[in-house]
Structures are given as structure tokens and as C-alpha cells.
Amino acid sequence: MDPFLRGVVIGFAIAAPVGPIGVLCIRRTIAGGMRIGFVSGLGAAIADALYAGIATFALALATAYVARLTQPLHLIGGAFLLWLGVTTALRAAPAAGAGRPAPRAYAGAFLSTFALTAVNPATIVSFAAVIAGAVFGAQPPVGFAAVRLVAGVFAGSALWWLVLSAGVGIVRRGLTPRAMRAVNVVSGIVLAGFGVWALAYR
């Protein structure tokens, strides 16, 4: 298979399972619209591409280095998710007719999902499988083929976040303030649960 298309499949498949990043993007799309939800997803897509690049260009080094960092990353990511879950659950629903989020909100949305994805154990495990050869086989791609594969991973991941944010953005139009408040509470509980799991993971 063409390296770019293979990367698209890998990126889409790794991004699609609904975890803490998916919950966060869904809540942000409901609260602020499709654009901020998609920008949040792009942060995750960049982190996915970063891990794909590590897996492709530095297989042996990345395997040893990421293995040593797994536990600290669990603690950092878990604490961040727990804090994010509590603040999300306590957040009021956006006022009716609220405008678009401020420009700086997009930067915050992007950076937070990038950081969370970068320290997400599921992301690490997924790309560890790539490093071990579960996807590449015996010979990983090199040179321009490797660049195309990493670009494909980003494109596939970004495609999933576009589909998710667009779909939720359509549903968002029919939600009442009470329903949006309930989304905040449920999302916060789920995010905090992921945080507790990450902190307790060994």
C-alpha cells in the first residue's frame, strides 16, 4: 500500500476510538461550535504525527526512551485530566446566542489536546506497536516514503476530528441550555474518570 494511504489508515484508526480526547472535543464542539472542536482535534492530530515520526525515524531510540517515560507521563496526564474533568463539570452552560470563542481560546484548545495526546498512554501504546513492527512489518519506510507516511498519519487523524466535530456541530443546534449543562457534567465526570484511571495505572 502507498505509504501516505497507509498513514491515513493508521492515523484514522488510532484517533477514532472515543477516549478522553474525543470526549473533550465533543464537549468543546457543543459549547463553542465546530471550529473550536476541530482545532482541538488538530492538536491531537499533530501529537499523533509526532509519535509516528518518532516511530518511523528513530525506532530503537524511541522504544527505549518512551518506555522510560511511560510512568511519569501517566501521572502528568492523569493529573491534568482530573483537573480538567472537575473544571468542566463545574462550568456553566454557554449563554443562548453566545458568539464564537475568543481567538486565544483556539490556541488553548489546540495546545491542551496536543499535550494530553502526547502524554496519553493509549497513544504511546499504539505507536509502540508501530515501533515493534506490527504495522510496518520487517522493514519500516525510509526517506521520502517515511515523510509521506507521517503526513498520512496526520491527515487520517485530522480527518477523524473533522468528521466528529462536523457531526456534533450539527447536533449542537438543537440542544437547550439545560442539555448543554448536562453535557458539561457528564463530560467532566468521564474526563475525571480517565484521570483517576491514569493515576492508578501501573
How long a stretch of residues is the chain? Answer: 202
Q: Which residues contact 68 (CB under 8 A, 6 or more apart)?
A: none
- Looking at the chain, the whole-number percentage of residues with pLDDT higher than 70 is 67
Please tell me which residue, 33 or 199, carries the higher pLDDT value: 33
Task: Name the pLDDT band for 181 (thresholds 50, 70, 90).
Answer: confident
Rg (alpha carbons) of the chain, rounded to whole number: 17
Residue with more model confidence, 182 or 139: 182
Q: Which range among 29-38, 160-169, 184-193 shows the weakest confidence by mean pLDDT?
A: 184-193
**110, pLDDT greater than 80:** yes
Gap between the Cα atoms of 124 and 28, Å rounded: 24
**Residue indicated by cell numbers 489546540:** 110
**Tens-digit pLDDT profile for residues 42-90:** 999 998 888 888 777 665 455 555 556 556 666 776 777 677 778 777 7
Q: Specify whether the backbone of 168 is left (phi greater than 0), alpha (psi in -120 to 50) or beta.
A: alpha
